[in-house]
Structure 1
């Protein structure tokens, strides 16, 4: 259970608290692309986040298409299963690297952001549980595709709800993480932070 106030939990918050946004205000998103300190690591980080957003959207659309009868069960399962596995595995690995390496480095570099990294760490625990629920519900869904129409419909609805919750949390988390980390990289430079590629 997190020690964070409920308003900072991923299910409830609408962004980072103002006291953690001092670098995000100094380096707003529209300035990132052209900034001299936007190095390889920052670009890679943003690309990975964009990949998670894109793949999450593709998975949501495929479930929606299946539910609307635009994809047959076998064709849907063949497309969906490997992409979902990739999405879940990559997201889990990405969070592990952040927790074990990058977050501690960034928190030491700017102590005023420590609470922000505590928030992101809490997010990772909640998202990890959501990933496990997503995988379990997906397995049930894929099994149901071999069964009658009622079971398929019920399992598709259950998975769609679980996936929507995960994507909602992930979207909030990725945005807040970028607002905390990218401005720090721009402010200090990747070499100075010790994270250059």
Structure 2
């Protein structure tokens, strides 16, 4: 786990497939999820995120959990839950937060929404591109990778999103800033790939 940047000082060492198996058996229970989160144990928090009830999750609860973020793994799992709970108002708020893992959550949420919300309007998804541009100079590893991930996810969504995402990627690829340039060039490479272009036709 440590090799992959996962915080291990409060981990039991239970594998993610086993955690998901427990979650399927335990089913959703929002009160229990909140209690599990308070444990400060990695596996319990992952189980909390897998079994919380999206319709009952409030923005205030999500903000409280975000205050505890200390690992990209927890962040990315939480982002899926926050997207399912439709807490989109947290995206610009989290993006403006200087804390590395809270900011990562914003862009993990954008990526998740672009991929999983098939019926969402493209305009809603594309409205997050300015956030990507604004924060594209954040060189912290877990932030820049999430920004790149969000940009690529938007571009791969469909033909309507591909053009604007690729345009931004090309703009960033020419940036004098090293981080923005990396984000842009990596996204251009994937968004210009033959397989993707064939799928989007």
Interval containing the TM-score (normalised by the shorter chain): under 0.3
TM, length-normalised to structure 2: 0.24
TM superposition score normalised by structure 1: 0.24
Highest RCO, 1 vs 2 (Cα 8 Å, sep ≥ 6): 1
